[in-house]
């Protein structure tokens, strides 16, 4: 079976070439062709020695997930459904804005964490994505958006302002830190100047709060960190996010403080989905202020995006504004995420793709709906 070169970061590709008695600079050459120039045909890698091109054609391939669907929303948001085999499809989303373009990519086929308000989690879980399937989402998006610069374009022209995709967030399907090694390889490619050359500040990993993996990321590859918080107390977060029962809020806040020691940004972003009557009261906003008092942070409030069979409702705009006002009065930077791509189900929490569920969670979906109703009734 041929080796898929998209599975390698620089160190991995260098080691693979060393096994062929090739010099390290060959790895840098091939990385540039694959990830900077978007070239998958080895014969067209013109500065690579002819004997090596022939060897690559025999022993290697540049295999990507196949695009099953490419949908564009009225607001310019674009979503791709990608085939990762065995009946599984993952989704990635490009969000254009005035001064940046953000690509949201997936790290797992489904998700094992079963957060009560998330469409992806309700589909169940099949497997982790490989590094090639993760970085392949970035490659596919860059090709579709004509964002590869080509070998003849001078490197100095490839500044952030010249890029269509300037930011990457690992906020799609799955929990990135539950797929640590493959995510780490993909992150290293995103940051590599011979590959995508993104700044650490412009690559964000979003996690539900797997504390040991947050510490590992800090030491191995610190990028911007976003934490899915969604509740100000352990009692409520236990119900909304089962991972909290293993890593409660006190441990999570301590991990955030440790992460800031090496973070490229001087704050943690806390994501907070606004659920009507569940986590959006003024008292809960004040509880949040007490919770994060020792963690430099900003909040990103996310209006809940409904999906089929959910019992949760979106908080009213007035309630979201009041919640944000309380946080800002405590001098916490707070933004409210604008819903994007709702007409193609590309908004936050709506990514579902296709998952051949091996957790049998889909068969338990009615229980999940009753659980959501019970949470709302308990707090009403």
Query: 312 with 117: CB under 8 angstroms?
Result: yes
Q: Taking residues 192-198, what's their average pLDDT?
A: 97
DSSP 210-264: -HHHHHHHHHH---EEEEE---SSHHHHHHH-GGGGTS-HHHHHHHHHHHTTT-S
Residue 341: the pLDDT is 53
Could you report the per-residue pLDDT of 59-103, keeping only the tens digit for each?
999 999 999 999 998 888 999 999 999 889 999 999 999 889 999
Q: What confidence category does residue 54 fall into, taking pLDDT thresholds of 50, 70 and 90?
A: very high
How high is the mean pLDDT of the chain? 89
Residue 354: the pLDDT is 73
Q: What confidence category does residue 34 fall into, taking pLDDT thresholds of 50, 70 and 90?
A: very high
CA distances (Å), origin 25, targets 30, 33, 39, 349: 9, 13, 18, 42
C-alpha closest to that of 225 among 179, 185, 190, 265 = 265
76 versus 35: which is more confidently predicted?
35
Q: Taking residues 186-203, what's their average pLDDT?
A: 98
Which residues are annotated as catalytic? 91, 348
**SS3 assignment, position 133:** helix
CA distances (Å), origin 67, targets 23, 94, 326: 35, 14, 44
Residue 356: the pLDDT is 73
Is it the case that residue 197 has pLDDT exceeding 50?
yes
Is it the case that residue 122 has pLDDT exceeding 80?
no
Query: 226 with 300: CB under 8 angstroms?
Result: yes
**SS3 assignment, position 74:** coil
Percentage of the chain beyond pLDDT 90 is: 76
Q: CA-CA distance, 249 to 263, in Å (whole number)?
A: 20
Residue 340: the pLDDT is 57
Q: Taking residues 13-25, what's their average pLDDT?
A: 96
Neighbours of 180 (CB within 10 A): 17
CA distances (Å), origin 10, targets 15, 67, 354: 9, 26, 31
Is it the case that residue 370 has pLDDT exceeding 50?
no
Domains of the chain from N-terminus onward: 3-61 (1.10.150.530), 66-379 (3.20.20.70)
- Cα angle 156-158-162, degrees, rounded to a multiple of 5: 130
Residue 378: the pLDDT is 44
Is it the case that residue 153 has pLDDT exceeding 50?
yes
- pLDDT-wise least confident of 145-149, 232-236, 254-258: 145-149
Residue 360: the pLDDT is 64
Query: 140 with 67: CB under 8 angstroms?
Result: yes
Could you report the per-residue pLDDT of 274-308, keeping only the tens digit for each?
999 999 999 999 999 999 999 999 999 999 988 87
Residue 375: the pLDDT is 43
What is the value of pTM for the model shown? 0.90
């Amino acid at each position: 079976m041929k080796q898929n070169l998209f599975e390698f970061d620089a160190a991995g590709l260098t080691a693979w070439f060393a096994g062929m008695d090739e010099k390290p600079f060959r790895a840098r050459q091939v990385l540039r062709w694959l990830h900077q120039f978007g070239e998958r045909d080895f014969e067209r890698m013109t500065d690579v020695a002819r004997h090596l091109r022939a060897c690559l054609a025999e022993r290697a391939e540049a295999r990507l997930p196949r695009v099953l669907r490419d949908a564009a929303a009225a607001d310019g948001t674009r979503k791709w459904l990608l085939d990762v085999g065995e009946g599984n499809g993952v989704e990635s989303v490009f969000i254009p804005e005035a001064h940046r373009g953000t690509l949201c990519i997936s790290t797992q086929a489904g998700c094992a964490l079963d957060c009560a308000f998330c469409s992806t989690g309700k589909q169940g879980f099949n497997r982790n994505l490989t590094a090639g399937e993760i970085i392949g989402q970035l490659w596919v998006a860059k090709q579709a958006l004509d964002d590869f610069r080509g070998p003849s374009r001078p490197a100095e022209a490839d500044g952030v302002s010249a890029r269509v995709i300037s930011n990457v967030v690992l906020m799609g399907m799955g929990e990135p830190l539950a797929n640590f090694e493959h995510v780490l390889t993909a992150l290293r490619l995103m940051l590599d100047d011979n590959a995508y050359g993104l700044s650490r500040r412009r690559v964000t990993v979003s996690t539900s709060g797997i504390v040991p993996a947050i510490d590992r990321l800090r030491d191995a590859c610190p990028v911007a960190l976003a934490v899915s918080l969604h509740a100000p107390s352990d009692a409520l977060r236990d119900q909304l996010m089962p991972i909290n029962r293993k890593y409660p809020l006190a441990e999570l806040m301590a991990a955030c403080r440790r992460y800031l020691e090496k973070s490229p940004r001087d704050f943690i972003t806390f994501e907070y989905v606004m659920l009507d009557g569940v986590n959006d009261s003024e008292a809960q906003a004040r509880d949040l202020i007490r919770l994060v008092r020792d963690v430099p942070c900003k909040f990103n409030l996310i209006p809940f995006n409904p999906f089929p069979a959910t019992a949760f409702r979106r908080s009213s705009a007035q309630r979201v504004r009041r919640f944000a006002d309380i946080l800002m009065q405590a001098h916490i930077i707070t933004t409210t995420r604008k819903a994007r791509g709702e007409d193609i189900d590309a908004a936050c929490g709506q990514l579902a793709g296709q998952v051949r569920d091996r957790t049998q969670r889909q068969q338990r979906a009615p229980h999940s709906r009753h659980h959501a109703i019970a949470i709302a009734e308990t707090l009403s």
